[in-house]
Amino acid sequence: MRSKAPHVVHVARECAEIVAAGGVGDVVLQLALECVKQGLHSTIFLPHYGRYSHERQRALAERISAMLPWEHRQVRYLDPEAYDIPMAYSDSPHRTEPAAIETIQFSGPVRLQVAQVVADRFVGKQRPYSYTSGEVKAILEASRGDGMVCGAEPPPKAFPLEEGSGHFDYFAMNVLLQKAALAWIERQRRPVIVHCHDAHTAMLPMMAKLAEPPSPSADSRFVATAHNCGASYRQRCADLRFVAAASGLPLTAVSQCVIDGEFDPFAAAALYADHLTTVSDGYAWEVQGAHLHTSGGDADLRGFSEFLAQNSIPLEGIANGVSAALKGPEAIRKQVGMRLSDAGGFDWKPAFRKRFAKRLSKRELDPSWGVRSADRHGSLRALVDGGCLFTFVGRWTDQKGVDIAVRAAQEVLSTDAAAGLCVLGEGNQPFVFSGLLRLAEEFPGRVAVIKGFSDSLAARIYAAGDFLLVPSRYEPCGLIDMIAQLNGNLPIVNQVGGLSKVIDGVTGLGYFATTDRENLRGLVSAMRRALALAANPEALRRMQRAADREVREKYNWTATLERYARLYGLRLPVSGRAAKLTLSRTSARTASA
């Protein structure tokens, strides 16, 4: 084992295969796996949600072990490390919370570790960011004098408590994770590189560098990645005294990280991290220019954009990768009838789509698809062999523009009797579900709506579809467009943020819109172009192959890590060589408040 290899620690609130609520979890896992593939030690540091058990840990170890690139590996369950984490409140300056770090270590040429913070504040919750219906019930039934419920003090009566609402103690959860991470880092024998994922961990560099007494972790290199810079994703807090008390930071320093009247963790990362990144070049450009009157950008970003400009903080865009082996047709090659030698060819699609449409239209859905038959509305029974299948996979939220997709589909399907639509997702955007149900009634046998989500079913929809509708109002990176491209499902995108990587007419179809009316007209026009393209099978196959090639060559995790490695201060081995990894001489950018 190369014990002297650099060590990259990914700190996050979620991780795929452990607990995930979105794309951040995929990024954390895939970056950590790519780190060990390239000869770096790596640790995934995150909370442990729900009841702790050895059975859960063993199942987790089996899942992660199967993904490692080593033929021979050893799995160890390290002794738990106990900590007493200072978690002061303004009226309780000496308050602490106990926590234990449970670590699973996978050893091969280098080490991969999964270190989980086991603490009441996390164990009392099942999801990373929001309450379950059972937790809402427990909180409502608890009397105010009962103390802790779901690992925290009950929220006040005025708090909008319902299933799916964000945790009342979100900020304390973030602070506890970051303080536990710093305490754990201080016990490491050698310096580490710390990659902070999203606003939930963006205070780490500031907490390390302003700690009193000084923390050994202050010498670590910190890279902070903003996966979404929207105001609702920035984990802000208006109570500056609470922020100072809980974090242990000086109130004067906290006050210097205020945007639009609230403490903003991304402001802290901007001032104290060695590098601040976001998840695409296009989104970085949008964020940095959002404060300009000529930008036409999202008003949600203006305060943060102005803060970056006033402090001369660069924001670098590094696009996330996608694993073809996990997200491409290779992952379900038996189901699609594809040979390994067929990667990049899509002659299997028409036959697979026909089988998929038939199975999706049966009375009872395949249990392996992970959704209930009762949640399937409509069918694809009337979809003809030569018909064009549009698809939508994702959350039904304002961001994703599903309401725009519904209206556009109604217009396009009414003028093309052979076209169909398959939708998978769920969310809280008003009137979307009722609008989808009306579509299924208006176009019987040509529209199928599945309320819920399942990776298994999503993979089949990507593989079966001809075109994926992505009319997002904003999009930091965009992962589904790349997954679709790997599966020959050409994306039709509003080219905002990370979706600008789709090249119109080459790797998909694109348009640009900043208003909903422009978005609707752009989507309808692009869908009509898609119908014309689908009528020319040779041209369709050329674009599918070009899109697949673009993703495999340009947006893989090796390419992503190579860009991060420069910020980590590392030089990765040249492909095909066993070159030694060394720290570069480039000094970290030191920011001061």
Q: What is the DSSP string of 148-197?
A: -BTTBPPPPTTS---TTPBPTTHHHHHHHHHHHHHHHHHT-SS--EEEEE
The answer to whether the CB of 119 falls within 8 A of the CB of 11 is no
Instruction: Give burial (CB, 10 Å; 0-12/13-18/19+) of 536.
Output: exposed
- Does residue 578 register a pLDDT over 50? no
- Does residue 83 register a pLDDT over 90? yes
The answer to whether the CB of 78 falls within 8 A of the CB of 57 is no
Matching CATH number, 326-554, of 3.30.465.10, 3.20.20.70, 3.40.50.2000, 3.30.70.270: 3.40.50.2000
* The predicted structure's pLDDT at residue 584: 40
pTM of the entire structure?
Answer: 0.89
Ordered by start, the domain boundaries in the chain are 7-129+167-317, 130-166, 326-554
* Contacting residues for 574 by C-beta, under 8 A, at least 6 apart: none
Q: What is the mean pLDDT of the chain?
A: 92
Q: What is the pLDDT of residues 400-440, one digit of tens each?
A: 999 999 999 999 999 999 999 999 998 877 789 999 999 99
What is the arithmetic mean of pLDDT over 513-520? 96
Q: How many CA atoms lie within 13 A of 157 on its CB side?
A: 2
Given CATH 1.10.287.70, say whether it is the number of domain 7-129+167-317.
no
Q: What is the amino acid identity at position 262?
A: E
Which of the residue ranges 44-48, 383-387, 423-427, 476-480 has the most confident prediction, judged by mean pLDDT? 44-48
* The predicted structure's pLDDT at residue 332: 85
Q: Is-same-fold flag (7-129+167-317; 326-554)?
A: yes
* The predicted structure's pLDDT at residue 342: 61
Q: Which of 41-50, 148-157, 200-209 has the lowest mean pLDDT?
A: 148-157
Q: What is the pLDDT of residues 116-134, one digit of tens each?
A: 999 999 999 999 999 998 9
What are 179's two structure tokens? 């303080």
